[in-house]
């Protein structure tokens, strides 16, 4: 994917806002509000993580502005993501739902998507760990 084809940070942020609104029925005003619920915290965490994965050189302050939080909160959110993605199947499901929808819209064609996934192998590794977690839970029942 060439530079001109890639979405910039603002476009990605707006796309994620739209996904959160349409797929999760969380209006932007509510998403960016100071209301603290688990649902909102997890959704904000997912948005921050997806933005960070796509813009790894972004400053935490910039990521914080995207979700109306400060830089310290963003640092905590990114660390917490790494814990929750493997231990909380509800959070992992939310992450994959938003991330998958983002890439369905984001990708230009399958070749670009495959190239992106090769570059970001960690997405596939996260999905594999999540699937393995689900399998082990089913086996333990």
Residue 85: closest CA among 76, 95, 75 = 95
Asked if residue 7 lies in contact with residue 108, where contact means CB atoms within 8 angstroms, the answer is: no
Residue 4 lies in a domain: no
pLDDT at 135 over 60: yes
CA–CA distance, 101 with 99 (Å, rounded to integer)? 5
Stated pTM of the model: 0.74
pLDDT in tens, 36-47: 999 999 999 999
Per the structure, the count of domains in the chain is 1
Helix (H, G, I), strand (E, B) or coil at 34: coil
We report the CATH number of the domain holding residue 77 as 1.10.1750.10
pLDDT of residue 117: 67
Q: How many of the other CB atoms lie within 10 Å of CB of 98? A: 21
Range of the domain at 111: 9-139
Residue 2 lies in a domain: no
pLDDT of residue 133: 87
Residue 3 lies in a domain: no
pLDDT at 5 over 60: no
Token output for 97: 């739902």
pLDDT at 109 over 60: no
């Amino acid at each position: 994917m060439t530079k001109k084809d890639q979405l910039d940070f603002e476009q990605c942020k707006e796309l994620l806002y739209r996904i959160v609104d349409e797929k999760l029925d969380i209006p932007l005003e509510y998403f960016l509000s100071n209301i603290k619920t688990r649902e909102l915290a997890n959704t904000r965490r997912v948005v921050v993580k997806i933005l960070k994965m796509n813009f790894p050189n972004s400053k935490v302050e910039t990521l914080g502005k995207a979700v109306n939080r400060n830089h310290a909160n963003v640092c905590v959110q990114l660390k917490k993501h790494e814990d929750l993605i493997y231990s909380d199947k509800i959070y992992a499901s939310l992450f994959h739902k938003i991330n998958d929808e983002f890439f369905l819209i984001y990708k230009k064609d399958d070749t670009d998507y495959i190239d992106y996934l090769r570059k970001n192998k960690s997405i596939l590794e996260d999905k594999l760990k999540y699937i393995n977690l689900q399998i082990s839970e089913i086996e333990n029942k």
